[in-house]
Amino acid sequence: MNHYPQAWGRPRDDVYGPYDNSYFQASAPQTHTQSPAVTGTSVLGVKFKDGVVIAADNLASYGSLARFTDVKRLRTFPPNTVIGFGGDVSDMQYLDRLLQSLDIRENYLSSYGHVLNAKNLHTYLSKVLYKRRSDFNPLWNMLLVAGLDDDDKPFLASADLLGTTFSSPTLATGFGAHLAQPLLRKLMPHDEDSVKDVTKEMAVEAIKACMKVLFYRDARSLDKYSIAVVTKDGVELKEDQKLEDQSWAFADQIRGYGTQVN
């Protein structure tokens, strides 16, 4: 307790929190970001009977410049969760550091039984994103959380810069939501009930096909990508995969744009 006169009548720090000294500074700059700078494009995710497959390409674009080509947008969280980020890369790094400090804190519990699974992480991230949007200072990302839930069943959910969340057997962010989802949904004629009929090979094939389509049609994509398969045995992460069997043979028949034939 501080009994000196300068503290008489001062509310207790441990009850009301310390003074917010930013109010004493007349000209603090506003730091609310409203547009992304360096961005990643789509992330794709598909459930299968034993887990989830998730993939994202290795490109960070600076507007229309393909700026960084070895960017890993799939981040793992032990023991078996993978989070794929689309959107602003610096916000992705911020969230990655936040998750890392969460992981360090979880390890402080003495026994190795407590686990933050994918579902818990998704809840946490969606609340962080919603809070930031409510402050008009969003984290400009659309992310997919892939892993297992409390009952060790496959878990796949998305969260975005507005704090909106979705869960579905197949999900995609960015361009993937338009181009890849219809292809991925062909695997799931009966929604959740189809998950048990999908094998790992089917899921990986579908994802690879969609990554090829996205490279053909998404102008901000790359043919190098990372893919992760999450099961209860852990995460199998393959970075630096190259797209195979690309078909560009039609290119030499192109003459100009549209209907131009010479």
Partner 1 sequence: MFRNNYDNDSVTFSPQGRIFQVEYAQEAVKQGSVVVGVVSKKHVVLTAVKRNAEELSSYQKKIVGVDDHLGVALAGLASDARVLSNFMKQQSLSSKMTYGRPIPVERIVNMIGDRAQSNTQHYGKRPYGVGLLVAGVDDLGPHLFEFSPSGLTQEMLACAIGARSQMARTYLERHLEEFADSSRDELIKHALLALKESLAQDKELTVDNTSLAIIGVGEKNGRKKLENFKLYDGQDIAPLLEANVESTLADDADGEAMETDL
Partner 2 sequence: MTSIGTGYDLSNSVFSPDGRNFQVEYAVKAVENGGTSIGIRTKHGVVLACEKIISSKLLKPGANLRISTVDRHAGVVTSGLLPDGRHLISRARDEASSWRQTYKGPIPVHALASRMGGYVQAYTLYSSVRPFGVTAILGGWDSEAELGVDGQVGFGPSVGAGGKLEDEVVKRGGPGLYMIEPSGLYWGYYGAATGKGRQAAKAELEKLDLASPTCSLSLKDAVMEAARIIYVAHEDSKDKEFELEMTWISTLDGPTKGQHQQVPQELLEEAEKAAKKSLEGDDDEEEEEEEGDAMQE
Chain residues binding partner 2 by CB under 8 A are: 1, 60, 68-73, 89, 92-94, 96-97, 100-101, 104, 107-108, 110-111
Long-range contacts of residues 176-181, Cβ cutoff 8 Å, at least 24 apart = 176/41, 176/42, 176/43, 176/44, 176/210, 176/214, 177/42, 179/210, 179/213, 179/214, 179/217, 179/218, 180/42, 180/44, 180/210, 180/213, 180/214
Instruction: Tell me how far, at minimum, the Cβ of 180 lies from partner 1, in Å.
Output: 28
The reply to whether 33 belongs to the active site is: yes
119 binds, among partner 1, partner 2, none (CB under 5 to 8 A by kind): partner 1
Q: How far is the CB of 244 from partner 1 (least distance, A)?
A: 40
Length of the chain: 262
**Cβ closest to partner 2, residue 81 vs residue 168:** 81
The item of partner 2, partner 1, none sharing an interface with residue 116, based on CB under 5 to 8 Å by kind, is: partner 1
Distance CA 54, CA 147 (A): 10
β-pair partners for 227 = 55, 238
CB of 179 to partner 2, least distance (A): 24
Q: Which helix (H) or strand (E) holds 221?
A: none
Q: In whole angstroms, how close is the CB of 30 to partner 2 at the nearest point?
A: 22
162 binds, among partner 1, partner 2, none (CB under 5 to 8 A by kind): none
Which of the listed partners (partner 2, partner 1, none) does 101 bind, with a CB threshold of 5 to 8 Å by partner kind? partner 2
User: Considering 31, 33, 41, 170, which one is annotated as catalytic?
Assistant: 33
Separation between Cα atoms, residue 87 and residue 65, nearest integer Å: 15
Active site residues: 33
